[in-house]
Amino acid sequence: MYPLLKVDAARAAWIEVTSKTLHELGDRHRTALVEASQALEFPRAIYQELGSLGYLGPLVPTELGGSGWGVPEYVVISEEVGRHGLVSGQIAVQGQKWLLDWGTDEQKAQWLGPIASGEKVFSESISEPTMGSSFKNMKATATRDGDDWILNGHKTHVNLGADSEVTIFYGVTPDGITSFLVDTSFAGVSTKVTDAIGLRLIRTADVIFDNVRVSDASRIGPVGGGLETFLSTFNISRLGNASELIGLGRRALEIAINYGNTRIVGTTHVTEFQGIQWMMADAWTSLQSASLARDQAALAHERGEDIALATTLAKRLAITAAELAMDIAFSMTGGEGLYHESPLLEISNDLRVLKVAGGSQEIMRNYIARSILKSTDHEGLA
């Protein structure tokens, strides 16, 4: 779709190539991707192939081993990954943003290139069994010990937690929440894979930190600056979520239309029923609205504007659009879509996860409501 991003001819040409490349990659690896998802395995070789093509390192400058692209390119990659059922690079890109915004020269030199190529996998150890939407109940701790820190805590729902070489850990210190980059081979780090219904190609894990000793050079951002480091990535995270959701919605709609164009009920193709056409029109309209909002946010980021509200709006719209497309896909495919062999269940489960992970739809709505209420002219409500 990319209604605004395609206005730039050079970018439109890049989008065309990227879309074709990721389409071909998805088709070529379909069997392996389906098997990995069912077996709950991380398809590292396919992930690294994405890295070798530059798709895991869009934000990293070329001199640091990345592709040197930008946020607009990142959203295109995310949408095409969702659309072609590929393994997501969202976590890698969030890692890049953390490192680019807060990393020391040594941290950047050590991690950015390998994360961008897929040689090293990044993960985010933030959520805990008693803490997700809000940081307030964070129990994990970071305790100063001479020049080092001792990290303790139980992190959960961590995408790629058991597959990553480096993770970002958030823990409470007397001066507030602080973040650290932790090499997962360090003594005291252990993981246990968990069985989420969706995004299974980047399977989740519990990550346990049991007296993990790290040097102060592992700290990322200031002591007590955890909220700041977290907030600097959330726009990127929401844009990635929104784009994958749009991609999932497009995939569901495309599967449904292909089926409906050939399936005859009585003497009529399914896509000839007006009731079906209206549902398709609604889903497409919703996907187009989400794409417009997402493109607008990506371009505003490129201009250096504050995009917190724009990205939240994009994710909110993308959830609705993907759900509408999903419902219609299930309607149009009838009984055919309701078997495990159909890709629709996997798409639907990925969608359910993206409604929660990276900030739930309730949190998106809270943020939008707060922004409207604190605006003095109540813009948009008059």
User: Based on CB atoms, which residue is closest to ligand FAD, 78 or 127?
Assistant: 127
> Does the footprint of ligand FAD cover residue 360 (CB under 6 A)?
yes
Provide the mask over 197-236, with x wherever binding to ligand FAD is found by CB under 6 A and - wherever it is not: --x----x--------------------------------
Subset of residues 256 to 285 that bind ligand FAD, contact rule: CB under 6 A: none
- Phi, psi at 380, each rounded to 5°: 90, -15
Nearest approach in angstroms of CB 178 to ligand FAD is: 15
Q: Is 282 helix (H, G, I), strand (E, B) or coil?
A: helix
Stretch that binds ligand FAD, among 45-53, 139-147, 211-219, 360-368 (CB under 6 A): 360-368
Nearest approach, Cβ of 191 to ligand FAD (angstroms)?
A: 12
Cα–Cα distances in Å, from 104 out to 99, 110, 267? 8, 10, 67
DSSP state string for 253-279: HHHHHHHHHH-EETTEEGGGSHHHHHH
Cα distance between residue 3 and residue 295, in whole Å: 7
Q: Name the residue nearer to ligand FAD (CB basis): 25 or 202.
A: 202
3-state helix, strand, coil in the chain (%, to 5): 55, 15, 25
Phi, psi of 144 (to 5 degrees): -70, 135
Considering the complex, state which of residue 50 and residue 357 has its C-beta at the smaller distance from ligand FAD: 357
Beta bridge partners of residue 171, listed in sequence order:
178
Both structure tokens of 271: 């896509």
Mask for 107-146, x = binds ligand FAD (CB under 6 A): -----------------x-xx----xx-------------
Q: How far is the CB of 361 from ligand FAD (least distance, A)?
A: 7
CA 348 vs CA 163, 303, 345, 355: distances in Å: 24, 34, 5, 11
Residue 226 or 358: the one with the smaller Cβ distance to ligand FAD is 358
Tell me how far apart the alpha carbons of residues 336 and 332 are, in angstroms, rounded to a whole number.
Answer: 9
- Footprint of ligand FAD on residues 156-185 (CB under 6 A)? 157-159
CA 273/CA 262 separation, integer angstroms: 13
Q: Is 196 in the site for ligand FAD (CB under 6 A)?
A: yes
- For residue 132, the minimal CB distance to ligand FAD (Å) is 2
- When asked if residue 364 is in the footprint of ligand FAD (CB under 6 A), the reply is no
Task: Find the shortest distance in angstroms from Cβ 151 to ligand FAD.
Answer: 15
Give which of 61, 71, 127 is closest to 94, Cα–Cα: 71
CB of 101 to ligand FAD, least distance (A): 18
Residues 6+ apart with CB under 8 A from 261: 269, 270, 271
Binding piece for ligand FAD, criterion CB under 6 A, among 105-113, 205-213, 327-335, 361-369: 361-369
Strand bridging mode 122-125 / 166-173: parallel
Among 182, 342, 353, 367, binds ligand FAD (CB under 6 A): 353
Nearer to ligand FAD by Cβ, of 18 and 167: the residue is 167
Residue type, 374: K
Give the one residue of 175, 254, 272, 362 binding ligand FAD; rule: CB under 6 A. Answer: 362
Q: Look at residue 221 and give its three-state secondary structure.
A: coil
Rounded CA-CA distance 303/71 in Å is: 11
Number of residues that bind ligand FAD (CB under 6 A): 19
Q: Which is nearer to ligand FAD, 204 or 311 (CB)?
A: 204
Nearest distance from C-beta of residue 21 to ligand FAD, angstroms: 26
C-alpha to C-alpha distance for 287 and 290, rounded to whole angstroms? 5
Instruction: Report the site for ligand FAD in 27-86 (rule: CB under 6 A).
Output: none
By CB atoms closer than 10 A (0-12, 13-18, 19+), residue 36 is buried
Only segment of 114-122, 219-227, 312-320, 350-358 that touches ligand FAD (CB under 6 A): 350-358
- Within the chain, what is the greatest distance between any pair of CA atoms? 79
Binding site residues, ligand FAD, CB under 6 A:
124, 126-127, 132-133, 157-159, 196, 199, 204, 353, 356-358, 360, 362-363, 366
